[in-house]
Amino acid sequence: MMNRRFLFVIALCCVGSFLLGAFFKPVITPITADMANYASQIMGIEFNAAERDSMLDNLNDQRLGYERVRKISLTNDIAPALLFNPVPEGFVFEKVSKPFIFSKLLNIKLPKNRDSLAFYTVAELGALIRSRQITSVELTQFFLNRLQKYRPVLLNVITLTEDLALQQAAQADAEIKAGEYRGPLHGIPFGAKDLLARQGYPTTWGSNIYKNQMLPYTATVIQKLEKAGAVLVAKMSVGEFAWGDVWYGGMTRNPWNPQTGASGSSAGSGSAVAAGCLPFAIGTETLGSIVSPATVNGVTGLRPTFGRVSRFGAMALSWSMDKIGPMTRSVEDCALVFEAIRGADGKDAVVRDLPFNYAPFQSLKGVRVGYLKKAFESDYGNRANDSLSLLRLRQLGAELVPFELPNYPVNDLTIAIGVEGGAAFDSLTRSNEDDKMVRQIKNAWPNEFRSARFIPAVEYIQAQRVRTKMIQDLYQTLKKQNFEVYVTPTYAGGNLTYTNLSGHPSLCLPNGFNKNKLPTSITFSAQLYAEAKLLAVGKAYQDATKWHKMHPAGF
Q: What is the 3-state secondary structure (H, E, C) of 196-241?
A: ECCCCCECCCCCHHHCCCECCCCCHHHHHHHHCCCEEEEEECCCCC
Is residue 383 helix, strand or coil? Answer: helix
Cα 493 to chain centroid distance, Å, stands at: 20
- What single-letter amino acid sits at 307? G
Q: Is the separation of the CB atoms in 481 and 403 below 8 Å?
A: yes
Is residue 394 helix, strand or coil? Answer: helix
Cα separation of 36 and 105, whole Å? 69
Cα separation of 377 and 358, whole Å? 32
- What single-letter amino acid sits at 57? D
Cα separation of 315 and 206, whole Å? 11
Please calculate the CA angle 172-177-183 and round it to the nearest 5 degrees.
55
Q: What is the DSSP-derived secondary structure letter of residue 342?
A: B
What is the bridge-based pairing of β-strands 485-489 and 368-372? parallel
Number of C-beta neighbours around residue 246 at 10 A: 23
Q: Is the separation of the CB atoms in 267 and 238 below 8 Å?
A: yes
What is the bridge-based pairing of β-strands 231-236 and 157-160? antiparallel
Cα separation of 452 and 246, whole Å? 22
Cα separation of 295 and 232, whole Å? 24
Cα separation of 232 and 160, whole Å? 9
Cα separation of 49 and 127, whole Å? 76
Set 136, 193, 263, 266: catalytic member: 193
- Would residue 265 show up in a list of annotated catalytic residues for this protein? yes
Set 136, 237, 263, 265: catalytic member: 265
Q: Is the separation of the CB atoms in 227 and 310 below 8 Å?
A: no
Cα separation of 157 and 323, whole Å? 21
What is the H or E stretch that residue 30 is in? Answer: none
- Would residue 193 show up in a list of annotated catalytic residues for this protein? yes
Cα separation of 108 and 131, whole Å? 9
Set 207, 269, 289, 292: catalytic member: 289
What is the H or E stretch that residue 258 is in? Answer: strand 257-261
Cα separation of 480 and 192, whole Å? 39
Considering only CA atoms, which of 18, 11, 75 is closest in space to residue 37?
Answer: 11
Please calculate the CA angle 337-343-349 and round it to the nearest 5 degrees.
135
Q: Is the separation of the CB atoms in 203 and 235 below 8 Å?
A: yes
Considering only CA atoms, which of 229, 232, 248 is closest in space to residue 240?
Answer: 248
Cα separation of 489 and 91, whole Å? 26
Q: What is the DSSP-derived secondary structure letter of residue 105?
A: P
Known catalytic residues are 193, 265, 289
